[in-house]
Amino acid sequence: MSLLEIILIAVGLAMDAFAVSVGAGTLASMKDFRSTVRLAFHFGLFQFLMPVAGWFLGSTLQVYVESIDHWIAFSLLAYIGIKMIHESFKKEESQKENPSKGKNLIILSVATSIDALVVGFTLAMLDVNIWYPSIMIGLITAGLSFLGIWIGKKLGMKLGRVMEVVGGLILIGIGAKILVEHLFGL
């Protein structure tokens, strides 16, 4: 897997966290720097851990699904991408509590990183070493989350939804590329 593909996957996965961060940035409870760092750090941490967990799960099942792994990779990435695009059109209720504290922080961290678990599973099917992609996914997510909060403070909610659509399209494109490479030996 090339560095560009890893970066594109990381950016695609980070779009959920970015969109949530833009929304969080609009809240009065997120005005201090400590809240910004805490939310961005946890989003990045969970996005790092979930692919690792998915990879270990996928590695144990790989011998059973080797002949269809490219279809699994395509299906999972396309599903995640379509889901991200669909969810970008849903109206979100504004959250009054600080999303960088307590159960809100954990719930948002898990919710924005579930897709990374599936990607980790997919990377195991493709026999990719998980550590470098996971580190990149975590760092890019943390950076984009930090940026998202800042943008949220400046611009509001509109940009977050657009970025979620872009992230979904990126994941669908990578899934299609994997499928085409395996089917046609490119």
Tell me the domain boundaries of the chain: 3-90+97-184
- What does the pLDDT read at residue 39? 95
φ, ψ for residue 160, nearest 5 deg: -60, -40
For residue 103, how many other CB atoms are within 10 A of its CB?
8
- What does the pLDDT read at residue 61? 82
User: Mean pLDDT, consecutive 10-residue segments, the chain of 186 residues?
Assistant: 92 87 77 92 97 92 76 79 77 63 87 87 90 97 94 70 73 81 80
- What does the pLDDT read at residue 96? 53
Distance, CA of 33 to CA of 96 (rounded, Å): 18
Q: What is the pLDDT of residues 91-142, one digit of tens each?
A: 655 445 678 888 888 888 988 888 898 899 989 988 899 999 999 999 999 9
